[in-house]
Chains A and B, each alone.
Chain A
Amino acid sequence: MNHPLWDPISPKNKSEMSDIMQILAKMPIFSDLDSKELKEVEKIIYHRKYKKGEPIFRMGDPGLGMYIIINGAVEIVEEPENGTRTKLAELEKGAFFGDMALLDEKPRSASAIAMVDSDIIGFFRPDFLDLLYRKPRMGIKILWALSRVVGERLRKTDEQLTNLQREMKAKRHE
């Protein structure tokens, strides 16, 4: 599956770690934070358990924030009102999704559904904005890292678009 929006941005290449703090440390958007700052993030995240087949969010719901898979797997699917269900990506332990919702409340562009029983943590926009106000230095580090992630996704989208244009041109010349 190769969708720029839902393609996972690889976590840092660190040794296998188990607890939430270590998983947070591996996330690209928290990669600039020190351990004290990561503890602050730990205070405002939500740890949830989802059963197999349970939706984490639905396409069209207002965007609220991002999720990180601690254990389990999640599928990202397009579910148009009266259309066919299309699987966009399968995400596994350590992957994160929904990060664009940290920036605005635009409706979710796809649904996220647990493929197996999964442990997931959520980091949400209102808490992020509150953190930005209370701890501006730390908030800017997260915002900067988030910009890098969004930039990387944009670059991937650009590459795919360019390739697609090339393919179309080639087909027209044939």
Chain B
Amino acid sequence: MNNTSATPTSQLSKTIWRIFLIIMGVAFIFSIFSYVKTVLLMLLIAWLISVILNPLVDYLESIGFNRALAILTIMAIILGGIIALIIGIIPTVIKAVESISATLKSDLISNLTIQLEQFFQEKFNNPDLARDLINKAEQIGGALLVEVAGFLKNAGTYVAFVGIVPIITFFLIKDRRLFKRALISQVPNRYFELFLNVLHKVDSQVTKYIQGQAIDALIVGLLSIIGLFIINLVFDNPVPYFFVIGMIAGVANLIPYLGPYVGAVPAIVLTILNNPDNVGYIIFWIIVVFVLVQLIDNNLVSPMVVSKSVNMHPITVVIAVIIGGNIAGIFGMLFAVPFWGIIKVTMREVSWGLRSYKLK
């Protein structure tokens, strides 16, 4: 039976039916998005990690490792590093949180004391006194409960993240080719070579882009840590938590144009809070460190490791960051630009494929 014998009416109804299904599909995805957001985020993070680790696994495989063993070896090394980092950083972070909360508590208590004194002086005989106090206590208790509940909820999510992301990552690396074959097996013969070729090109460019961004973030992070460490050596530790700030600067570097400020601002704010001698002079040197890091990054590191194929206009970057922030908060802001880069590469390669292949 020849397919071309279908009447124009049946073709029109088929097209309308397809459009309807697409609209329903998009509406369905939007309606369930808030429920599956965490799972999607886990998948996205696992995929990004798998893309970054894949060349190392390939290298170990090339020198004779079994693929699964190669993945486990690399993951064990990374896990060891993270544990060492946590052991090194957690006490410092706890100390910081304790000192900040102690300051807050003392301020809060003193403010409350002053208010209570005024209250007792002015309205000692007011009958609403007891009710006001109870209301206040209820409000504070309620807020505390909400905070605890929020923490527990987030703690559950973090545990799920820490437990599930490495498992997904393991299988994404180990069965990478199987997933690709399963996907391609669904493509009709007519589009098979086009799809396969475009998929390989997108995969190759996106992999290079993500790996480049990861190496760039690592180098910027290390340079920032070294710069702030030198300031601490010279000026008697004016920048607290310089290691954490350096890491933030590295990760924030994923956002072009805006990232450097995300690194520099906490360093300056924490230095002001620390209130050392010559604070203005130290802030000047912090700015010098971040400007130098950016100069090195823009002129040496970035041109070598980051693909130029995903260059973006500053306005595009700002819009992508705002949309990413609205969709997935801070993660969305961080990954908006790389994600837009991936979309850009995909669109370009699909367009190349459609121009190059005869689809008749």
Which of B61, B189, B204 neighbours the largest number of chain A CB atoms within 10 Å of its CB?
Answer: B189
Asked whether A161 is an interface residue with its Cβ less than 8 Å from the other chain, the reply is no
Task: Give complex CA distance A54, B191 in Å.
Answer: 12
Residue pair B61, A134 in contact (C-beta under 8 Å):
yes
Contact for B357 among A48, A56, A61, A126, CB less than 8 A: A61
Bits for A128-158, please: 1 = Cβ < 8 Å to B, else 0. 0010011110000000000000000000000
Contacts of B119 in A (CB 8 A): none
Task: Decide: A64 and B196 in contact? CB cutoff 8 A.
Answer: yes
Number of A-B contacts (CB under 8 A): 42
Complex Cα spacing A74 to B59, Å: 39
Interface membership of chain B positions 182-209, coded 1 if the CB is closer than 8 angstroms to chain A and 0 otherwise: 0011000100110011001000100000
Contact of A50 with B189 at beta-carbon distance under 8 Å, contacts A61-B358, A64-B197, A133-B58 already known: yes
Q: How far is the CA of A44 from the CA of B200 in the complex (A)?
A: 13
Count contacts on B: residues with CB < 8 A to the other chain.
Answer: 19
Cβ contacts under 8 Å, A44 to chain B: 177
Q: Bound complex: CA of A25 vs CA of B61, how far in Å?
A: 24
Instruction: Given A43-B177, A44-B177, A58-B357, verify A64-B193 contact (CB < 8 Å).
Output: yes
Q: How far is the CB of A139 from chain B (nearest CB, A)?
A: 9
CA distance A118 to B177 in the complex (A): 25
How far, in angstroms, from A46 to B197 measured CA to CA in the complex?
13
CB-nearest residue of chain A relative to B178? A43
Residues of B within 8 A of A135 (CB): 61-62
Tell me which residues from 229 to 286 in chain B have a Cβ below 8 Å from any Cβ of chain A. Answer: none
Task: From B184, B189, B197, B204, give the contact of A62 (CB < 8 A).
Answer: B197
* A143 vs B358: C-alpha distance when bound (angstroms): 29
Contact present for A61 and B177 (CB under 8 Å):
no
- CB-CB < 8 A to A58: which residues of B? 357-358, 360
Pairwise interchain contact A134-B357, C-beta atoms closer than 8 A? no
Are B204 and A126 neighbours in the complex by a CB distance under 8 Å? yes
Contact of A48 among B58, B192, B204 (CB under 8 A): B192
B181 touches A46 (CB 8 A): yes
**Chain A, interface SS category:** mixed
Please state if B357 and A124 are interface contacts (CB–CB under 8 Å).
Answer: no
CA A54 – CA B360 in complex, angstroms?
Answer: 10
Given A44-B177, A135-B61, A61 and B189 contact (CB-CB distance below 8 Å) = no
- A46 contacts across to B, CB distance below 8 A: 181, 184-185, 192, 196
A57 to B58, CA, bound (A): 31
Q: A44-B177, A48-B189, A64-B193 are in contact. Are A134 and B358 (CB under 8 A)?
A: no
Task: Say whether A80 faces chain B, with CB atoms less than 8 Å apart.
Answer: no
In the complex, per-residue mask of B142-181: 1 if CB is within 8 Å of any chain A CB, else 0: 0000000000000000000000000000000000011001
Cβ of B356 within 8 Å of any chain A Cβ, yes or no, is yes
In the complex, per-residue mask of A19-54: 1 if CB is within 8 Å of any chain B CB, else 0: 000000000000000000000000110101010001
A 91-140 contacts with B by CB, 8 A: 124, 126-127, 130, 133-136
Interchain CB contact (< 8 A) of A134 among B62, B189, B193, B200:
B62
If A54-B189, A133-B58 touch, whether A62 touches B177 (CB-CB below 8 Å) is no
Bound-state CA distance A58–B193 (Å) is: 10
A125 nearest in chain B by CB position: B200
Using known A-B contacts A58-B358, A62-B357, determine if residue A124 contacts B196 with beta carbons closer than 8 Å: yes
Question: CA separation between A148 and B352, bound complex, in Å?
Answer: 33
B 24-64 contacts with A by CB, 8 A: 58, 61-62
CA distance A124 to B218 in the complex (A): 35
Chain B contacts of A136 at CB under 8 A? Answer: 62
Separation of A43 and B196 alpha carbons in the complex (Å) = 16
In whole Å, how far is B157's beta carbon from the nearest beta carbon of chain A? 36
Per the bound structure, the CA–CA distance linking A25 and B326 in Å amounts to: 55
Closest to B63 in A: A136
Which residues from A are CB-within-8-Å of B189?
48, 50, 54, 56
CB contacts (< 8 Å) of B196 on chain A: these are: 46, 64, 124
Q: Which residues of B contact A130 (CB under 8 A)?
A: 58
What chain A residues lie within 8 Å of B58 (beta carbons)? 130, 133-134
Q: Name the distance in Å between A121's Cβ and chain B's nearest Cβ.
A: 12
Please measure, in the bound complex, the distance between the C-alpha atom of A124 and the C-alpha atom of B177, giving whole angstroms: 13
B residues less than 8 Å from A62 (CB atoms): 197, 356-357
Q: In the complex, which residues of chain B have a beta carbon less than 8 angstroms from the beta carbon of A56?
A: 189
* Chain B residue at smallest Cβ distance from A45: B181
Contacts of A124 in B (CB 8 A): 196, 200
Are A126 and B200 CB-contacts (below 8 A) given A50-B189, A61-B193, A136-B62? yes
- Given contacts A43-B177, A54-B189, A133-B58, could you give 8 more A-B pairs where the C-beta distance is less than 8 Å? A44-B177, A58-B360, A60-B358, A61-B356, A62-B356, A124-B196, A126-B204, A134-B58
Listed in ascending order, the chain B residues whose CB lies under 8 Å from chain A are 58, 61-62, 177-178, 181, 184-185, 189, 192-193, 196-197, 200, 204, 356-358, 360
